[in-house]
Structure 1
Amino acid sequence: MNRRNFLTLTGTFTGGSFLLPQFLHAFGTRSNLAGTEQCLVFIQLNGGNDGLNTFIPFENPLYYDFRPKISLSKDLVIGKSSGMGFHPALKDFATMQQNGDLSVVQNVGYPHPVRSHFRSQEIWQTATNSNHYATNGWLGKYLDLQCKDHQPTAGVNLDSIDNLALKGEEPHSITVKDPNRYKIRSDKEKQAVLSANPQLDFVRKIAHSVVEGSEDIQKALSKSTSEVSYPKTNLGKNLEWIARLVKGNLNSKVYYTSQNGYDTHDNQLNIHHRNLTELNDALAGFYKDMKQSNLLQNVTVVVFSEFGRRVKDNGNGTDHGTAAPMFVIGGNTKGKVMGTNPDLSQLDNGDLIHKIDFRSVYAGLLTDKLNFDPQLIGIKNAAIQGLF
């Protein structure tokens, strides 16, 4: 078994108890994560969210011309400002925006866009050009440089599968489906002795991260409770776990989770409304929880999808497109609508032309929230200005 495969095996824990054999007992002491108390929370909308029906150009007649079957009438749009407004399911998004705690970054994408779900997600997760392939994620690279030695919970992915964005040379993140069941049993009285075999020592080091990660998570959970009501959905439960870990001082720099179901080729009005309702209600609980705990200024939530949808509907839905809005909540964001409204008169083969590169948003997050130079991990795009 090679180092990378073993890293994948031990860095993921999706539930249940796990017993480490004696030869895998750990060594060494925990090291601290460099940086400030700020953290980032990413919510990835899988399937390609339709940005035009999420943040709607309701004053542009072309929107209704292109979408006779799936457009939303002006009287349904909420939080209207400068010709744009939110889908009616996003009532709490509109409230957060009015409170100055939610910024919208319009027309986000990348050059030479790819319409494959898997490949476009990979591009967003590695922050590379569309013609370049990478094995490590942009956040994994960041954590490799920020962590002193081995920090197993510097990043936490609430999911049943690993996320490439957090993959680095060292396992500084853990994927866990149910933190309450992430309990590792080990006999600390019997510690393995370092050997002359570097591969065996690596195995022992990884095993230590699994044990220590479990201990840190359980300690954080023991120091926190759920103080607001969250919806009983997958996303609601995941954001409730993240809130408890933040309040319990786990001190992770990055939290990641996702929501599925945005590939709306058919029956879009119903499916999209249901998905956005789930997103809105889960984030409303998290937002309220962070505000009540006086932590919203320290926690920045980033909502994005791998691409938007095509401008013209296909009847009852939309096909894969390109640019779409990103949403940034908390972290002392300035609560602006950034960038120009979608230009529906100048399209690229029926698609929106991106105006803001997603890596500029990443650069802004790294620079302004984590006090980190994005060029150190290969992001050369200028940081977006005015977000914080």
Structure 2
Amino acid sequence: MNRRNFLTLTGTFTGGALLLPDFLHAFGSQRSLVIGEPCLVFIQLNGGNDGLNTYIPYDNPLYYELRTKIAISKDNVIGKNKGMAFHPALKNFADMQQNGDLSILQNVGYPEPNRSHFRSQEIWQTASNSNQYLSEGWLGRYLDLQCKEHQPTAGVNLDSIDNLALKGNEPNFVTVKDPNRFKIRNDKDDMIKLSDNPQLDFVRKIANSVTEGSEEIQHALAKSTSEMSYPKTNLGKNLEWIARLIKGNLNSKIYYTSQNGYDTHDNQLGIHQRNLEELNDAVFSFYSDLKKVDLLQNVTVVVFSEFGRRVKDNGNGTDHGTAAPMFIIGGNNKGKIIGNNPNLSDLDQGDLKYEIDFRSIYGRLLQQKMNFNPQTIGINSKPIDGLF
């Protein structure tokens, strides 16, 4: 039996957390010992999250000069660290960072930024250049090469619509709105029959994939429970489902979900506060749940948005901008703040200049967490250092 099969089998018998004899812990701390299958969990903040009011340069006078209406008072920010601090709604993000479980990557973006929601999301989801159009997502291309045979739940998208990031040549992912109700009638005889029509065969292949995915998801749910209370929000429910599937040994490589509402052109202070509170509470419940069952080391959570907002406010809100922070939680990250504080005196047409290409983060995630060469799917940016 090889190591991979051994770890999968033992994970099944122990609910995903392999129990080790005490003497093995002498070879290293439990934190640095990763057992079982790693996975990536993506939380996409739709609408363009205002990074400057999320992770705040409270010690820079220009922040208050340029944002006379929506700046967050330095008396209210939390987790102060080298001139930067969290929005007060993100109190548990500050705790996770203090615990060494959350890394912050500053000024993340890409060359020739696009301020269209649709196009910028497409660039992030395909890892393309600004002037390049791809029909497969970066995670879909990864799954096409990583899955030696068809795996219907190699990726799970918790949403009501498919996500381009997971789209590949093979249907190696399923989109589920409510996993508990994701039960498909299994008419295998109709699905197995092939025809002379390739398009029809492909549709049948997808249908068969959905059926298989439904069965695997129900098996995982049957082996897991919710061991703590999650917030009754869409994001909270989605992260609770993801935690259940991870604890039930679905062994998906990728989980994807999103939170809407970040297009804050007007009434930003109240809207942004509510969105960040929802994000904070849902993510911290997920984090606490996985930590309780010793699975946080296997799970890397990535929180990002398609772009940030402009540096100067428009009165009651902010318009579309460019670079913004990105957050990495769990997965034995180093808990660092990577990158320089936002330079508010050197702007590009009123926007922050990006310093970290998001594809360099993708590259490190694939290389370090998935043991996969990112160049094989066209991600050629040098993987960022210092994250894991």
2:24 matched to which residue of 1? none
1:273 matched to which residue of 2? 273
2:23 matched to which residue of 1? none
- In the TM superposition, 1:159-308 aligns within 5 A as 159-187=159-187, 192-193=192-193, 198-308=198-308
2:191·2:207 contact (CA, 8 Å) conserved in 1? Answer: no
Residue deviations 1:240-283, cap 9 Å, x none?
00000000000000000000000001111000000000000000
The residue type paired with residue 370 of structure 2 is L
1:123 matched to which residue of 2? 123
Q: CA deviation at 1:221?
A: 0.4
- In the TM superposition, 1:290-329 aligns within 5 A as 290-329=290-329
Q: CA deviation at 1:193?
A: 4.8
Residue deviations 1:81-123, cap 9 Å, x none?
0000000000000000000000000000000001000000000
Aligned-partner Cα distance in 2 for 1:347–1:323: 11
Residue deviations 1:158-180, cap 9 Å, x none?
00111100000111001110000
After superposition, the Cα gap between the structure-2 partners of 1:43 and 1:359, relative to the gap in structure 1 and judged at 3 Å, is: same
Aligned-partner Cα distance in 1 for 2:240–2:102: 19
The residue type paired with residue 277 of structure 1 is E
Identity of aligned residues (%): 77
Aligned-partner Cα distance in 1 for 2:315–2:202: 55
Report the secondary structure of 1:73's partner residue. coil
Report the secondary structure of 2:75's partner residue. helix
- Worse-matched range after superposition: 82-91 or 205-214: 205-214
Residue deviations 1:166-220, cap 9 Å, x none?
0001110011100000001125588845556655544443232111100000000
Report the secondary structure of 1:255's partner residue. strand
- Worse-matched range after superposition: 74-83 or 200-209: 200-209
1:156 matched to which residue of 2? 156
The residue type paired with residue 351 of structure 2 is D
- Worse-matched range after superposition: 198-207 or 304-313: 198-207
Aligned-partner Cα distance in 2 for 1:196–1:164: 29
1:340 matched to which residue of 2? 340
- RMSD of the alignment, in Å? 1.3
Report the secondary structure of 2:184's partner residue. strand
After superposition, the Cα gap between the structure-2 partners of 1:203 and 1:350, relative to the gap in structure 1 and judged at 3 Å, is: closer
Aligned-partner Cα distance in 1 for 2:342–2:64: 13
The residue type paired with residue 263 of structure 1 is D
After superposition, the Cα gap between the structure-2 partners of 1:69 and 1:195, relative to the gap in structure 1 and judged at 3 Å, is: closer
Aligned-partner Cα distance in 2 for 1:200–1:73: 59
Aligned-partner Cα distance in 2 for 1:141–1:103: 26
Tell me the TM-score normalized by structure 1.
0.89
After superposition, the Cα gap between the structure-2 partners of 1:70 and 1:195, relative to the gap in structure 1 and judged at 3 Å, is: closer
Aligned-partner Cα distance in 1 for 2:297–2:268: 35
Report the secondary structure of 1:76's partner residue. coil
Q: CA deviation at 1:222?
A: 0.3
2:155·2:166 contact (CA, 8 Å) conserved in 1? Answer: yes
2:20 matched to which residue of 1? none
The residue type paired with residue 60 of structure 2 is N
Aligned-partner Cα distance in 1 for 2:231–2:162: 24
The count of corresponding residues between Structure 1 and Structure 2 is 353
Report the secondary structure of 1:257's partner residue. strand
After superposition, the Cα gap between the structure-2 partners of 1:186 and 1:347, relative to the gap in structure 1 and judged at 3 Å, is: same
Point out where structure 2 has 5 or more consecutive residues left out of the alignment.
Answer: 1-35
Report the secondary structure of 1:183's partner residue. coil
After superposition, the Cα gap between the structure-2 partners of 1:275 and 1:193, relative to the gap in structure 1 and judged at 3 Å, is: closer
Q: CA deviation at 1:306?
A: 0.3
Aligned-partner Cα distance in 1 for 2:95–2:52: 19
The residue type paired with residue 312 of structure 1 is K
Aligned-partner Cα distance in 2 for 1:287–1:177: 21
Report the secondary structure of 1:326's partner residue. strand
The residue type paired with residue 128 of structure 1 is S
Tell me the TM-score normalized by structure 2.
0.89
